[in-house]
Amino acid sequence: MFFQVLLRALTSTNTWHTTLESAALLVLPALGGVISERSGVVNIAMEGMMLTGAFASVMITLALHSLGVNDALSVILGVLAAIIAGGLMALIHALTSINFKANQIVSGIAINIIALGLTSYLVFVLTPAGQGVPSLPFSLRLPTLPWGPLANIPWLGYVLFQQNVIFYIAILILIGVQFLLFRTNIGLRIRAVGEHPQAADTAGVNVRLLRYLCVISSGLLSGLAGAYLALGVAGIFNPGITNGRGYIALAAMIFGKYTPLGTAGACLIFGLGDGLRIPLADLSPNNPNLTTLLATLPYVFTLIALVGFVGRTTPPAADGIPYDPGSE
């Protein structure tokens, strides 16, 4: 019984389609986190940046649509707005933690709170009678990208070649970030700034500028993930839409040991938890609620990773310490 259900779940195309979709949703903010933490700025605000991005994408898309802009253009501008909105939130985080030397955890918490407060508040102000954002028509959602004949391959087609357009962008970004961090001059500088900013400064690296860029790019990526979530997957906005995904991304980043590829692997594992949730409900027809416990698995895995049973995770050496040119 158990193995039958498990086998059916693991061979179903739906499971893997959902798994990859969830993983792509997680990998964007998680990569943002990797870039930010590698440069030495602790970022627990991916949740808030994603939420802001999701909000901006839906609001701008709907607004442009009602102004008579054609559908495709309003979606594209909505995605751009999401990226910019995420970047602006990240800019606040960068400003407080780099210039004003605030505690980066407090700043991150404040970003998460203000994102929740501001989006809920603006939904109330901007929608008629404050009744919330309507569900988007399909013409205003991010389309899936069919790969012609590839999409018709029996099993693989639906899993790999009928995903949302942002999914493929996410894969490109993943490869790009891995290349950037470990194969380019800038990547070397980013890592140096995160490990020993004084040394990097002496070698002529502009520590603050680099950290600013890294924190902001974490916001851009999280904002893009927000647009993917709101315009691509859910097709609606409400202030609870991110539902802890930013925190799972944080977990994935740590589980992946602060490397892009490791993080992507962690996102796949965590995404599988999402993909298996519906098929595994058949395991206990009397208590479908049991699958709620599956949702805890990403966090349990991460705790185990932190404790060091699968090799200890260590953050960059200067992570969380504001850079002060006068020290040492």
Does residue 198 interact with another protein by CB under 8 A? Answer: no
Q: How far is the CB of 317 from another protein (least distance, A)?
A: 6
Does residue 99 interact with another protein by CB under 8 A? Answer: yes
Residue-by-residue DSSP string for 181-241: HHHSHHHHHHHHHHH-HHHHHHTT--HHHHHHHHHHHHHHHHHHHHHIIIIIIISS--TTS
Does residue 100 interact with another protein by CB under 8 A? Answer: yes
Considering only 72, 106, 186, 209, the residue that binds another protein (CB under 8 A) is: 106
Q: Which amino acid, 246?
A: G
* C-alpha torsion sign, points 169, 75, 230, 110: positive
Tokens representing residue 327 in the block: 């020290």
* 83/28 Cα distance (integer angstroms): 12
Considering only 190, 254, 268, 280, the residue that binds another protein (CB under 8 A) is: 254
Closer CB to another protein, residue 84 or residue 95?
Answer: 95
* C-alpha torsion sign, points 34, 35, 38, 40: negative
Considering only 4, 135, 139, 287, the residue that binds another protein (CB under 8 A) is: 287
Does residue 58 interact with another protein by CB under 8 A? Answer: no
* 24/164 Cα distance (integer angstroms): 10
103-135 burial: b if 16+ Cβ within 10 Å, else e: ebeebbebbbebbbebbbeebeeeeeeeeebee
Does residue 192 interact with another protein by CB under 8 A? Answer: no
Closer CB to another protein, residue 103 or residue 144?
Answer: 103
Q: Write the CB contacts of 288 (distance below 8 Å, at least 6 apart in sequence).
A: 281
Query: How far from chain centre, in Å, is Cα 25?
Result: 6
By CB under 8 A, how many residues form the interface with another protein? 62
Per-position x/- string for 200-239, each x denoting binding to another protein as judged by CB under 8 A, each - no binding: ----------------------------------------
CB atoms within 10 A of CB 2: 8
- The stretch near another protein (CB under 8 A) out of 27-35, 156-164, 226-234, 303-311 is 303-311
Considering only 135, 139, 206, 292, the residue that binds another protein (CB under 8 A) is: 292
Considering only 72, 124, 143, 153, the residue that binds another protein (CB under 8 A) is: 124
Does residue 143 interact with another protein by CB under 8 A? Answer: no
- The stretch near another protein (CB under 8 A) out of 22-30, 53-61, 180-188, 283-291 is 283-291
Residue 84 burial class via C-beta count within 10 angstroms: exposed 0-12, middle 13-18, buried 19 and up: middle
- The stretch near another protein (CB under 8 A) out of 2-10, 119-127, 138-146, 149-157 is 119-127
Q: Are the CB atoms for 30 and 252 separated by under 8 Å?
A: yes
Q: Given the rule CB under 8 A, which residues bind another protein? A: 42, 44, 92, 96, 99-107, 109-111, 113-114, 116-118, 120-122, 124-125, 130, 240, 243-244, 247-248, 250-251, 254, 287, 289-290, 292-293, 295-296, 299-300, 302-303, 306-308, 312, 314-322, 324, 326-327
